[in-house]
Structure 1
Amino acid sequence: MTTHALLLCLLTCLTLHALGSEIIKGQNVPEGMMGYMASVQENGRHKCGGFLINERFVLTAAHCHMPNLSVVLGTHNLRKVNNNTMRYDVKMCPHPLYRNNVSGGHDIMLLKLSRKARLGKTVQIIHLPNAKMKIKDKSKCRVAGWGYTTTGGNTSEQLKVVDVPIVSFKVCKEKWGDHLPANVICAGGYGTKKGFCQGDSGGPLVCGGKAVGVVSFNNGSDCSYPNVPNVYTKVSKYLAWIKKILKQNNC
């Protein structure tokens, strides 16, 4: 094989591999990493993401409030779920100001696990930001989930992650107008082909090792080429509410 032909083959193979490894333009999460990720499921089927913040609570989006919810921890591959050790029944604790409409804001919910999570190599917690944490515009953060890999596609059985840049609140407000609620942070989507999609709701936006946002909504289910930024609930705005529930271990 000539050098030119070898190079052409290499570039083609790399391109095909990249196209097959998306959250939206993302890649598979290696085992042993992001052990805080939770699959929030309705009747045993993945519906939303979430993340473990202590041994008894998972944080997710309030619009993931559904009947017969359970949480799966400790696996990146949803084909490999041991219901006896990985699945947890939950009590739902949506934010009291959420009104069944993401555009109204407060799209955040705590899920109390039926038993303590057993922390280890595959199950870990992620820390929340403090109220003073500042995140610079265009900072590279990451979002992960088992959601659609293309607009109108299917959920992924393998956990995927993608880097996304922070979009300034000013630009986000200009693009969304009156549809943008308060207490949000924007990243990905506008200005890039990377971001989240349906089924990723409730997952974390991770910056500097802290879960600073909760996946809330994008534009009309358009994941691949959105003309507005992806929107996340800003965790730091809800620390008092979160800490209150964690302290009383109930809601």
Structure 2
Amino acid sequence: MVARYFLLLFVLSVYVSGADSSRIIGGRNASSMRYMVSVQNNGGHVCGGFLITNNFVVTAAHCYDDHPTHVVLGNHNLKNGQMVAIKKKFVHNSYESPETGDDIMLLKLATTNGLHDVIQLPHAEIDLTANEVCQVAGWGKTMSGGKYVGELRVVDVSVINPQVCKNQWPQLPSSVICAGGYGTNKGFCQGDSGGPLVCKGFAVGIVSFNHNRNCNYPDKPNVYTDISKYLQWIDMILQNHQGLTVKPHMFCCLHY
């Protein structure tokens, strides 16, 4: 009886400490990801995102459904960040749902001061290997049915072999990367959508979807949009809407 009592106390303490500290599932406080952006509507945080220029943010296309109006950037704590209005949204025109792919959106900000960090995109397809360790960060829920958090969290996740991921997701889109969630207690949760998968210092993926919005890992692999498949589309938007000098591509996928 005494043993059962102490076992119950142990289980409760693990549950409570996990709920308080996991934030992004299995994560820790972030300290050097100043390119991270909280995408928000009038109700507050809805998605993550990341700066690729001083006035363009990359996030997930499915975040469009939350009607974002502004972003908060410049600080890991959302209470102390700079609020900037969204001037224009660019959703990939082939996007239908996260499960069918093309889950990518660019946000043009209304103002810019050039004082915030940006993260580089891969110049071409990066050769990721199974079990390679990358990072994902966000202000998402602590667990299924939990609440969003105000302090940015980051967690290490391992890249999953594409065939292993395909076995778990028979209808897996082609332009994706799988990392974390499967056979581990680490990964992303709702509210982390749109944040970057960072490998070798580059933003190589965008948080897209997990299994039935379930964050109680282990579970099926977490799925990210593969940014390297959309570099031409991104270049086209930047060229047409920011005046950057980039190599033109015969690629047109804009949706307003």
Shared fold per TM-score greater than 0.5: yes
Q: CA deviation at 1:56?
A: 1.7
TM-score normalised by length of structure 1? 0.86
Q: 1:104 to 1:201 in 2, by over 3 A?
A: same
Q: How does 1:201-212 map to 2 (within 5 A)?
A: 201-212=193-204
1:18-97 equivalences in 2 (<5 Å) = 20-22=20-22, 23-30=24-31, 33-65=32-64, 66-81=66-81, 85-97=82-94
Post-superposition shift, 1:14? 11
How many angstroms does 1:17 deviate by?
Answer: 6.5
Q: Answer whether contact 1:219 1:226 (CA < 8 A) is retained.
A: no
| 2: CA distance, partners of 1:204 / 1:130 | 16
Corresponding residue for residue 223 of structure 2: 231
Q: Secondary structure at the match of 1:195?
A: coil
How far residue 55 of structure 1 moved from its aligned partner, in angstroms, is 1.1
Q: Is the 8 A contact 2:73 2:83 kept in 1?
A: yes
Equivalent position SS for 2:211 = coil
Specify the code of the residue in structure 2 equivalent to 1:177.
P
8 Å Cα contact 1:147-1:197 kept in structure 2? yes
Is the CA contact (8 Å cut-off) linking 1:28 and 1:161 kept in structure 2? yes
Size of the alignment, in residue pairs?
229
Deviation string 1:153-176 (CA, Å, 9 cap, x unpaired) is: 000110000000000110000001
Q: Distance in 2 between matches of 1:228 and 1:59?
A: 25
Q: 1:117 to 1:213 in 2, by over 3 A?
A: farther
Question: C-alpha distance in 2, partners of 1:103/1:117?
Answer: 36
Identity %: 52
1:170 maps to a residue whose letter is: Q
Q: C-alpha displacement at 1:186, in angstroms?
A: 0.3
Residues 181 and 14 (structure 1), Cα distance of their counterparts in 2 relative to 1, 3 Å cut: closer
2:131 to 123, 130, 138: 138
Q: Which amino acid aligns with 1:191?
A: G
Residue 44 of structure 1, CA deviation: 4.8
CA distance in 2, matches of 1:71, 1:165: 29
Q: For the Cα contact (< 8 Å) 2:39–2:68, is it kept in 1? A: no
Query: What stretches of structure 1 of length at least 5 have no aligned partner?
Result: 1-12
CA RMSD of aligned residues (A): 2.0
The offset of 1:37, in angstroms, is 0.1
